[in-house]
Amino acid sequence: MQQLRRRTFLKNASTMVVSSSLIGTAQSWAGANDRIRVAVIGLGGRGRGHIREASSIEGVEVVTLCDPDETRMAKAAAELEAATGKKARLEPDLRKIIEDSSIDVVSIATCNHWHALATVWACQANKHVFVEKPVSHTFIEGEKMVEAARKYKRVVQAGTQRRSNGSFRKVIQLLHEGIIGDIYMARSDYPEPRDPIGFKSAEAPPPWLDWNLWLGPAPKQPYHGNLVHYNWHWFWDFGGGEIGNNGPHFLDITRWGMKKGLPSRIQSVGGRFGPKDQGETPNTQRSTFVYEDGTSIISDIRGLYTTQGFTWDFYGTKGHMHIKPRHIGKNYGCEYQVFLGRNKTPEPDMGVLENMDHYRNFIEAVRSGKSESLTADVEESHLSGALCILANISYRLGRELNFDPKTKRFVNDSEANRLLTREYREPFVVPDKV
């Protein structure tokens, strides 16, 4: 346990300097025998998914596992050894992984509030990154992640896996080819049953958890059982509610289909309805994003009772496309129907494209050094996640907001602009200059 509690700090990110000799070329990933050596940080369900996905690719070896929860590390290590016959190094402090020059790729599946800092540090240390959605906890963090990826010429893939799925790629192809004409509105409906989480009192952190490392960039505060390991999603210091949890997936599809970036007006309303509990974020939320040309995206989330399933709808000058998910194994696919004009009968099925392995797409981009081959480059995921962040700022302030997509700031609104970033807890600071 004493080893688990050791504290060896990196330099503050704001003063961290990466030598130009370390940056090297885009091919500098190769280690012994041309293997790509991966460290997985955050070992919940998605992190263990990263382990399986990376380990299944020839020439890729998961060598280090990291989590401030030693029970999670032990479980993940046992699964990895059973599957591959190899033992991984266990390290609770991700900063030790950033320091390790033998690691080529950092695969991040931590809590949301750690995503940006871990990515920036990894890019500065000449590592390529796979980072789960949402890529950032604040808007400015997302900007810094893109900036770091470009500055250090790192390949950074986001965990918006639907961009690699053949059925979603076909949907987007059809929309971009004009199957329903000019798209003037898109909407997503995401009902996800969420029971009240009750109330948990502050207490000493459990012995298997390094609470300081778990908090990382977040404000110092007492441990309570509603944070570890999933319900942190419903607290503003760590998550962004359901729109911050699954919004980066469903808003990514609507924004992608409409070829849109950042909006000019945002309104988000809702509340935390039903029995009172400790959660802070809304369980019901309607968000509207209006663009400078008058087109719009609408997002509905509902955590209480509903009979309607998860859907997307696109509305164009020639017709309407209705989409619903269809999961087969690990493939996040969809079924779609196209209705042209006022026809109530859908058009004949137009097929799908070939599925791509999302993690393999990342590894292939690392090998080639071509970020443009990524299906979910960090910049695209940042823009989709930004919609969720902007919506939450509108919700928290209780009013519609005007945003300038060029300056990337709210218009004459210092109160809203303050919420584009956060105050960090030293030494876990996302630097102004990456």
Q: Residues spanned by CATH 3.40.50.720 within the chain?
A: 13-162
pLDDT tens for residues 82-111? 999 999 999 999 999 999 999 999 999 999
DSSP letter string, 207-267:
TTB-HHHHHTTSPP--EETTTTTTGGGGSTTT--HHHHHTHHHHHHHHHHHHT----SEEE
DSSP three-state, residue 286: strand
CA diameter of the chain: 69
Distance in angstroms (rounded) separating the CA atoms of residues 408 and 3: 44
Backbone angles phi and psi of 199, in degrees to 5: -130, 140
Residue in the block written with tokens 């070829």: 259
Q: Residues spanned by CATH 3.30.360.10 within the chain?
A: 167-199+211-356+378-418
pLDDT tens for residues 307-324? 778 999 999 999 999 999
Per-residue confidence band for 331, with pLDDT thresholds at 50, 70 and 90: low
DSSP three-state, residue 132: coil
Residue 28 in this model has a pLDDT that exceeds 60: no
Superfamily of domain 13-162: NAD(P)-binding Rossmann-like Domain (3.40.50.720)
DSSP letter string, 330-378:
TEEEEEEEEEETT-SSPPPP---PPP--HHHHHHHHHHHT-GGG-SSBH
Tell me the residue length of the chain.
434
Extract the tokens encoding 403.
């945003």
Strands 60-66 and 36-41, by their bridges, are parallel
- Mean local confidence (pLDDT), 163-185: 97
Confidence at residue 5, expressed as pLDDT on a 0 to 100 scale: 34
pLDDT tens for residues 401-429? 999 999 999 999 999 999 999 999 999 99
pLDDT tens for residues 108-142? 999 999 999 999 999 999 999 999 999 999 999 99
Confidence at residue 113, expressed as pLDDT on a 0 to 100 scale: 98
The pTM is what? 0.91
DSSP three-state, residue 113: helix
The pLDDT mean for the chain works out to 92
Confidence at residue 242, expressed as pLDDT on a 0 to 100 scale: 97
Distance in angstroms (rounded) separating the CA atoms of residues 351 and 166: 9
Extract the tokens encoding 116.
């940006």
Local structure of residue 26 (DSSP, 8 states) = T
Report the topology of domain 167-199+211-356+378-418: Dihydrodipicolinate Reductase; domain 2 (3.30.360)
